[in-house]
Amino acid sequence: MSDVQYLSPNYRADQVDLTKFDDRVRVYEDQIRGWFLEPTKALLPVPNSAFAVLHILIGYFEHHAIYRYGASSEGKSKEFFRRGFTAVFPKAHQSEPAGPDR
């Protein structure tokens, strides 16, 4: 087995300098495209795949908050999901979430 460590589908650890902002952005974009968006696009033509696609994409929001805030979400998944979701959809923060009484 190789000792090569991939940070994303197209970038190895030895190809980038994560102390550089441009490299961090490039790797993050490749992670999102390669691990979330491209696999879901490949699934869309498959009959009855909508729930699987939704399930994959839901993971994006927590990941986005981890990257945005530069912190681990360990033990705080719910908080980080909300942070990521409202960062992507700011108007969602302005209203109360639907609950059992609505």
DSSP 29: H
For residues 88 and 12, give the distance between their C-alpha atoms in angstroms, rounded to a whole number: 28
Position 30 in a domain: yes
pTM for the model: 0.71
Position 5 in a domain: no
Lowest model confidence (mean pLDDT) among 3-7, 10-14, 62-66 = 3-7
Give residue for tokens 């302005």.
94
Q: Which domain holds residue 22?
A: 13-94
Position 48 in a domain: yes
Which two tokens mark 32?
A: 């999102």
For residues 58 and 91, give the distance between their C-alpha atoms in angstroms, rounded to a whole number: 18
Mean pLDDT of the chain: 90
Structurally, the chain folds into a number of domains equal to 1
Q: Please compute the mean of the pLDDT values over residues 54-79 and round it to a whole number.
A: 92
φ, ψ of residue 54 in degrees (nearest 5)? -60, -45
Position 3 in a domain: no
Position 8 in a domain: no
Q: Amino acid letter at 41?
A: K
Q: Which alpha helices (DSSP H) does the chain contain, by range?
A: 21-32, 38-43, 50-69, 77-88
Position 99 in a domain: no
Which two tokens mark 66?
A: 């981890």
Asked whether the beta carbons of 26 and 16 are under 8 A apart, the reply is: yes
